[in-house]
Amino acid sequence: MPFTFAHPAIILPLKHLPKRCYSITGLIIGSMTPDFEYFIRMRVKAIYGHSVVGLFYFDLPLGLLLTFIYLFVVKDKLIDHLPIQLNSRFLAYKKKLLKISFATVFIIGLSVIAGAASHILWDSFTHSSGYFVRLFPFFSVVVVQLGRQPIYCYSLLQHGSTLAGFAFIGYTIWRLPKSAVTGTYNVFKYWLIIFLTSVFTIIARLSFKSHDSYLFGNLLVTAIAGGLIGLVIASAFDSGLQKKL
C-alpha cells in the first residue's frame, strides 16, 4: 500500500468542485483514516479500516473524530509552528471558524467516506491482497528479481505511486499563494514535545516485549502514532499557555 501521508494526493483534484459540496479537511483526513488502525494498534495489522463495510463503522466515526480534533485543537497551532516557507502558504487557512450544524457534520461525514474510499481503491491496486491485484494476474507479475527477492508489479505501483503522490502534494503546496508571516512562536519547544512523545511511545511499546515489537513496520507505525499523540499534546499545551498569557 502507498505510504499513509501520500494518500491525500488522490483527492486533491476534487478541490475544484463547488466548496459547498465537500470538506477538503474531511477528504484529506478520510483518505488517511483506514491506516489509523495501524497507529491505534501500533502494529501493521488492519482488520476493520480497509473494507467496504469498515468505511461506515470504523472509518466514518474515527475520521469525524480526527477531523474535529484537527480543526479545534491542532490546525492553527500546527500552522503557527511550521517552517516559514510552509507557514506563509497555510496562513490563509488559519482561524477559519467552523459553524457546527447538522449540514456541516453531514458534509464532513460524506467527505470522510469519500476520502477513505479513495484510500481503499488505491490500495486495491498496490497490495498483494488488493481486489484488482487478485482480479488481474498482470499485477502479480515479477518485474525484476533482486537476489532472492522478487519485485512484483503491484510493489512497483505501490512505491512509485507513493513518490508520485508526495511529488503532487509538494507541487500543490508550492503553488499556494504566500501570506505575510506575522508573529513569532517557540517552534523548537513545539516540535520537541512531538519528538519526545514519539520516543516515549516507542519505549513504552517495546516494554511489552511482544515477539514482533522490533519489526521495522511496527516500529514505524508506533513512531508515527507517538508523533500524532505529541502533535495533539503540543497544540493543546500551546493553546493553554496562550490563554494564561
The answer on 214 and 174 residing in a single domain is no
Residue 149, domain member (yes or no): yes
The average pLDDT across 24-37 equals: 97
- The count of structural domains within the chain is 2
Per-residue cell: 124: 486495491
114: CB partners within 8 A, 6+ apart: 11, 14, 22, 27, 30
Q: Residue 69 — pLDDT band, cuts 50, 70, 90? A: very high
The answer on 219 and 127 residing in a single domain is no
Residue 99, domain member (yes or no): yes
- Enter the DSSP assignment of 43: S
The answer on 212 and 108 residing in a single domain is no
The answer on 214 and 129 residing in a single domain is no
The answer on 170 and 108 residing in a single domain is yes
How far apart, in whole angstroms, are the C-alpha atoms of residue 193 and residue 231? Answer: 8
For 107-145, how does the pLDDT look when each residue is reduced to its tens digit (9 = 90+)?
A: 999 999 999 999 999 999 998 888 999 999 999 999 888
Query: pLDDT value at position 183?
Result: 67
Domain span holding position 209: 186-240
For residue 37, with 0-12 CB atoms within 10 Å meaning exposed, 13-18 middle and 19 or more buried, which class applies? buried
> With the C-alpha atoms ordered 119, 122, 128, 132, is the resulting torsion angle positive or negative?
positive
The answer on 51 and 164 residing in a single domain is yes
C-alpha dist (Å) from residue 43 to 129, 149, 209, 216:
18, 24, 13, 10
CA angle 35, 55, 103 (to 5 degrees): 115
The answer on 196 and 142 residing in a single domain is no
Domain final residue pick, 181, 200, 218: 181
28: CB partners within 8 A, 6+ apart: 8, 11, 115
pTM score, two decimals? 0.92
The answer on 235 and 137 residing in a single domain is no
The average pLDDT across 100-104 equals: 89
Residue 74, domain member (yes or no): yes
- Enter the DSSP assignment of 73: I
The answer on 98 and 51 residing in a single domain is yes
Residue 245, domain member (yes or no): no
